Amino acid sequence: MPAWRKLGIIAGAGELPVALAEHCAAEGASYFVARVAPFADEALETHPHDTHGLGEMGARIAAMKAAGCDAVVFVGKIPRTDLRTLNWDAGGMAMVPALAAAAPKGDDALLRAVLDEHAKQGFVIIGADQVMEGLAAPDGVWGKHAPSAGDLADMRLAARVAAAMGTFDVGQGVVACAGLILAVEAQEQTDAMLQRVATLPTDIRGGASARRGVLVKRPKPIQERRIDLPVIGVRTIEGAAAAGLAGVAVEAGGALAVRRAAIIAAADAAGLFVFGFTSADLDVT
Amino acid sequence: MPAWRKLGIIAGAGELPVALAEHCAAEGASYFVARVAPFADEALETHPHDTHGLGEMGARIAAMKAAGCDAVVFVGKIPRTDLRTLNWDAGGMAMVPALAAAAPKGDDALLRAVLDEHAKQGFVIIGADQVMEGLAAPDGVWGKHAPSAGDLADMRLAARVAAAMGTFDVGQGVVACAGLILAVEAQEQTDAMLQRVATLPTDIRGGASARRGVLVKRPKPIQERRIDLPVIGVRTIEGAAAAGLAGVAVEAGGALAVRRAAIIAAADAAGLFVFGFTSADLDVT
């Protein structure tokens, strides 16, 4: 029994908002999509929705209230934007001081300020994994391939680096191969990071015939977990496969898997493992 | 008065080995270049030299001994290579166990093992900055542009992230802009990192008309400082300019500046600062 009557889905870019809206529709839940233009997918137009720019906070909140929403979930990617370049409406303008104060403290601080401003408007803030059971990454081996001892060692190394980076509010992804850190994600996003791993010398990475190395995604230690959890999807598996990696590891409960069955099918077909690690898996051996 | 009679310059890729050989020639110093194929520059063939593959340690050491070298300096980039794929000669093969044991511990451990093996052969290991006065990065403002207070704040943030990464033997470069980490370098090298900063949304980075953000390069905390110190050259300035950065900061004494006058001229012309920071500059303000 959800703790809300009608859910406002504030939708940025990517597959996750679409998957979430489809889930709500399939469940017969009461929902309304607030598309953030120009990022949100066009497929969302088939759902009950309205569309506003990032700075049109007033119009967006008014639309969600008019639709009867008492709770909101933030899903999908919104690129880091210079607040000075946005078109703010009056409702948005009223939030600018709080957002501008938070922005220099980093992505996480800015997101918390956005959540706070919506909470002040009377919305309950819901995590995407509360809306859609099975969205949160489970622990253990997901598909038919399992990590080797060497893969697990690379996973532990990459997970430690990701945690160290996360304390600086940096990225959520790290690639390690045979004890060497190949790439660290910052503002370029995971897909671009995997693309550059694919261009590194084959001496230090794997390939389709001999897969080596692991992509790890995990939340920052300071992460606001109701928003901006790491996300993996089929494209993550495709990128990892193209980079010659042996697999993808995410923190169990600390990442969202969009269309998990499709992720597993893609990984099984390409010969990659997908693994949800817990703190027990990170113990130094 | 140098502490060696004849210097063996073990030369990898890039400008630094060429600059060092030219310096030795201009000084009338006694030197011999051991080019590491296929990485070392062709310009080195005009100097007293011999050429060997990375794994031909025996031939290289024999050539340096035959030339009368009693000291060696390691300069230039050698890409991370899978030891199993190298062509080893007998002398190299004898070093494989030590190198193979060190390699999984990271770049720095591997480099230390290489130095140790050369020291065992009777060579004194010399840092490039001992050979060429003025190569080590000086402190303070180098050219006609100085960092702003905001640039210094970005420099401090990037320097802290670089130190945190360095404890994992990762990269030496970080780009920060207005409090946000834009990019972290791992195996792709600095030029590639700057290229991807240039492709980030202009909202979160600077441009030619309004420069913002800083590239910081500094040694890893565990760094073997006789080898593999961070290097900047004119290309670093060009890459930083193309990425819209306001400047480049390096740890004074902890980085090498190849052709410093040309670096300063390029930075002055493009409107970038170049700054050598000390621990005093990193104090939290």
A167-201 pLDDT, tens digit per residue, is: 888 878 999 999 899 999 999 999 999 999 999 98
Tell me whether residues B104 and A178 touch, CB distance under 8 A. yes
pLDDT of residue B226: 81
Instruction: Name which of B81, B107, B180 to mutate to probe chain A: the one with the most chain A Cβ atoms within 10 A of its Cβ.
Output: B180
B235 occurs within a structural domain: yes
What would the mean pLDDT of A92-112 be, rounded to a whole number? 87
User: How many percent of chain A have pLDDT more than 70?
Assistant: 99
Q: Is residue A252 pLDDT above 50, yes or no?
A: yes
Tell me whether residues A196 and B192 touch, CB distance under 8 A. yes
Residues B83 and B155 in one domain: no
User: In the structure encoding, which two tokens stand for residue B128, read together?
Assistant: 């490039």
Residues B79 and B194 in one domain: no
For residue A191, the distance in angstroms to the closest alpha carbon of chain B comes to 13
User: In the structure encoding, which two tokens stand for residue B241, read together?
Assistant: 């300019």
Q: Which residue of A has its CA nearest to B182?
A: A187
Tally of CA atoms within 13 A in the half-sphere of A214 that contains its CB:
30
Q: What residues does A17 pair with on adjacent strands?
A: none
**Contacts A168 to B, Cβ<8 Å:** 157, 160-161, 164, 181
A106 occurs within a structural domain: yes
A188 occurs within a structural domain: yes
pLDDT of residue A191: 94
For residue B186, the distance in angstroms to the closest alpha carbon of chain A comes to 5
Among B238, B278, B277, residue whose Cα is nearest residue B259: B238
- Domain boundary among the residues A130, A153, A184 is at A130
Q: Is residue B221 pLDDT above 90, yes or no?
A: no
CB count within 10 Å of CB A76 equals: 23
Residues A110 and A148 in one domain: no
CATH code, A272: 3.40.140.80
Q: Give the C-alpha separation, A237 to A262, whole Å.
A: 10
CATH code, B28: 3.40.50.20
Residues A147 and A125 in one domain: no
Q: What is the mean pLDDT of chain A?
A: 93
B109 occurs within a structural domain: yes
For residue A2, the distance in angstroms to the closest alpha carbon of chain B comes to 37
B135 occurs within a structural domain: no
Instruction: Please name the member of B82, B181, B203 whose beta carbon is closest to the beta carbon of A168.
Output: B181
| Rg for chain B, CA atoms, rounded | 19
Instruction: Name which of B168, B202, B222 to mutate to probe chain A: the one with the most chain A Cβ atoms within 10 A of its Cβ.
Output: B168
**Contacts A164 to B, Cβ<8 Å:** 164-165, 167-168
What would the mean pLDDT of B1-28 be, rounded to a whole number? 91
Residues B35 and B121 in one domain: yes
Q: Is residue A2 pLDDT above 80, yes or no?
A: no
For residue B279, the distance in angstroms to the closest alpha carbon of chain A comes to 20
Q: Give the C-alpha separation, B185 to B191, whole Å.
A: 10
Phi, psi of A159 (to 5 degrees): -65, -35
A51 occurs within a structural domain: yes
Tell me whether residues B157 and A168 touch, CB distance under 8 A. yes
Distance, C-alpha B173 to centroid of its chain: 11
Distance, C-alpha B251 to centroid of its chain: 12
Q: Write out the residues of chain B at the interface with chain A, using a CB-CB cutoff of 8 A.
A: 79-82, 85, 103-107, 157, 160-161, 164-165, 167-171, 175, 178-188, 192, 196, 199-201, 203-204
- Domain boundary among the residues B130, B164, B197 is at B130
**Contacts B167 to A, Cβ<8 Å:** 164
Residues A115 and A148 in one domain: no
* Out of A175-184, A248-257, B21-30, B99-108, least confident range: B99-108
Q: What is the number of domains present in chain B?
A: 2
What would the mean pLDDT of A58-77 be, rounded to a whole number? 96
Q: What is the mean pLDDT of chain B?
A: 92
Residues B112 and B170 in one domain: no
CB count within 10 Å of CB B63 equals: 18
Q: Which residue of A has its CA nearest to B180?
A: A106
Q: Is residue A118 pLDDT above 70, yes or no?
A: yes
B249 occurs within a structural domain: yes
**What ipTM was predicted for this assembly?**
0.86
For residue A273, the distance in angstroms to the closest alpha carbon of chain B comes to 23
B1 occurs within a structural domain: no
Residues B106 and B179 in one domain: no
* Structural domain containing residue A222: 140-282
**The pTM is what?**
0.89
* Residue A255 and residue A231 in contact, taking contact as beta carbons nearer than 8 Å: yes
pLDDT interval class at B285 (50, 70, 90) = very low
Residues B117 and B40 in one domain: yes
Q: Which residue of A has its CA nearest to B108?
A: A180
Residues B115-167: pLDDT tens digits? Answer: 999 999 999 999 999 998 889 999 999 999 999 999 999 999 999 999 999 88
Residues B126 and B207 in one domain: no
Instruction: Please name the member of A106, A160, A204 whose beta carbon is closest to the beta carbon of B179.
Output: A106
- Is A212 exposed, middle or buried, given 0-12, 13-18 or 19+ CB atoms closer than 10 A? buried
Q: Is residue B91 pLDDT above 60, yes or no?
A: yes
pLDDT interval class at B284 (50, 70, 90) = low
pLDDT of residue A285: 45
Q: Which residue of B has its CA nearest to A153?
A: B104
pLDDT of residue A284: 55
pLDDT interval class at A97 (50, 70, 90) = very high
Residues B156-186: pLDDT tens digits? Answer: 999 999 999 988 888 789 999 998 999 999 9
Residues A171 and A97 in one domain: no
pLDDT of residue B83: 81
Residues A49 and A146 in one domain: no
- Domain boundary among the residues A104, A130, A156 is at A130
**Packed helices A90-102 and A57-66: angle between N→C axes, nearest 10 degrees:** 120
Instruction: Please name the member of A79, A170, A179 whose beta carbon is closest to the beta carbon of B184.
Output: A170
